[in-house]
Amino acid sequence: MTPQQPLLKLIDDITGDFKNILLVWQLGAIVASIVLGWTLATMLRTRFGRNESQGNMARFGVESFGRVMGPLAIMCLLWLSRLVLRQYMPHTNLVNVAMPIFGALAAIRFTFYVLRRVFARHREISPGMISFEKLFQLLVWAAYVLYITGMWDEVFYFLDHTVLPLGKYKVSIADILQAAISVVVLLMLALWAGTALEEWLMKMQGMHTNLRVVVSRTARAVLILVAVLLSLSLVGIDLTVLSVFGGALGVGLGLGLQKIASNYVSGFVILLDRSLTIGDMITVDKYSGRVTQINTRYTVLQGLDGMESIVPNEMLVSGAVQNSSLSNSMVNISTKVSVAYETDVDMVLKLLEDAARTVPRVLQDKGPSATLIGFGVDGLDLQLSFWINDPEKGRGGVTSDVNRAIWRALKDNHVLVPFPAREMRVPGQPPEHDTQG
């Protein structure tokens, strides 16, 4: 049978259905399946997608999977309709044409759903992903056209009997395509499962944040490893070749990948010993900020100015790190002020402490402390120390608030703040008091 004959036979059968009541029943079944399928998908998105207690990613996932449920439900309903209609009519040609259409649409949307769950976790879709989605969509519809026209068997026969020599082996194009598809599908499913597991673990409040990160990343790595091994087995590759690859990897680690391996291990050390946690305020070398991410190779610090610094994990393990949030988040801050020598020191020290207590961010249980630290050239040097428990909000703002409160207190109590004074004389000119005399 030539490739055109199945298509011509299908067209003749559908045309024949137009001449009797069979077409009406098939059209009714298709319309009813479409209405019921889209209604079920809409109910799913409405029921779960608008739950305010869910995060943005959960609602995004439900909404995306709801788009898959639409064509999938329609295809299932069409399959049931075909079973029923075959009891009363000899053939269901129109339903047979409609089923692969919604099956292809379900496959396309399910692939898009998995891709975006894995690679677009913040709802940011890259141009590369859009291009891949368009290519995949084109391939699926091309496969549908080959299937509906009866050319699928001819194309598969050609691919299966076109052999490529690979060393002493010969592999057909069909085997290569099947191997590539199995590897890609299994890896995508593994990444999808790892992403879903990570999101579920991050919502568990009873587990420490670092432990959740370790478990999620370990599970993700195990899933990827299982997917790779299973893919190699399906392809027919002997797993003993991995021993050669492992030896080459060991040589590579010993020669050029030491830093990468060190950072990778250091990342797990940081997470397991809990020396750093997401949200801590730390200072390492010349970098300071709040820990926003602890990744496999590096840790991200966000400074108070919004600038993000990428710090290798090895630096956090081998170097000294100042952590303002390790045992507690309290930080001591001090500011200096000078007053005139004629000032009552005891009264001014009390004024400074009372002024600091008026600032909301200053801790009241660990009261401010004002001290006389020296005798300056222009006046008495005083220092006011106070405590805060929210260093992630910055120190400059609270220091400014305390200084403003000090200035108001000194001004209200007529306390003089000395400032340098310089006397200038012109050479050869007598002082002003001599000329007036």
- pTM for the model stands at 0.51
The pLDDT > 90 percentage for the chain reads: 8
Provide the residue range defining the domain that includes 35. 4-160
Q: Is the Cβ–Cβ distance between 385 and 313 less than 8 Å?
A: no
Q: Which residue, 88, 92, 62, is CA-closest to 79?
A: 92
Residue 165 in domain:
no
- 137 versus 53: which is more confidently predicted? 137
Is 199 part of any domain? no
- Residue 156 in any domain: the answer is yes
Looking at the domain assignment, is residue 314 inside a domain?
no
Domain boundary among 117, 141, 160: 160
Decide if 112 is inside a domain: yes
The answer to whether residue 292 sits within a structural domain is no
In terms of DSSP H, where are the helices of 120-208?
127-149, 152-160, 173-202
Residue with tokens 């630096």: 315
Q: Distance (Å, rounded) from C-alpha 334 to C-alpha 399?
A: 8
Give the total number of structural domains in the chain: 2
Q: What is the DSSP letter of 427?
A: T
User: pLDDT tens for residues 343-393?
Assistant: 888 999 999 999 999 999 898 888 899 999 988 888 889 999 999 888 777
Q: Is 255 within a domain?
A: no
| Tens digits of residue pLDDT in 213-258 | 778 878 888 888 888 778 777 766 666 656 666 666 666 666 666 7
Q: How far apart are CA 197 and CA 177, in angstroms?
A: 30
Pick the more confident residue, 6 or 196: 196
312-328 residue pLDDT tens? 888 888 888 888 776 77
Residue type, 130: I
Phi and psi angles of residue 236, each rounded to the nearest 5 degrees, phi first = 105, 10
- Report how far residue 37's alpha carbon sits from residue 300's, in angstroms, rounded to the nearest whole number: 45
Separation between Cα atoms, residue 121 and residue 168, nearest integer Å:
44
Q: Which tens digits make up the pLDDT trace of 80-122?
A: 888 888 787 777 777 777 888 888 888 787 777 777 766 665 5
State how far the Cα of 418 lies from the Cα of 339, in Å rounded to an integer: 6
Across 141-167, average pLDDT: 76
Angle at 283 between CA 278 and CA 284, to 5 degrees: 105
Strand 380-388, strand 163-166: pairing: unpaired
User: Looking at the domain assignment, is residue 231 inside a domain?
Assistant: no
Write the CATH number for 388. 3.30.70.100
Q: What residues form DSSP beta bridges with 339? A: 380
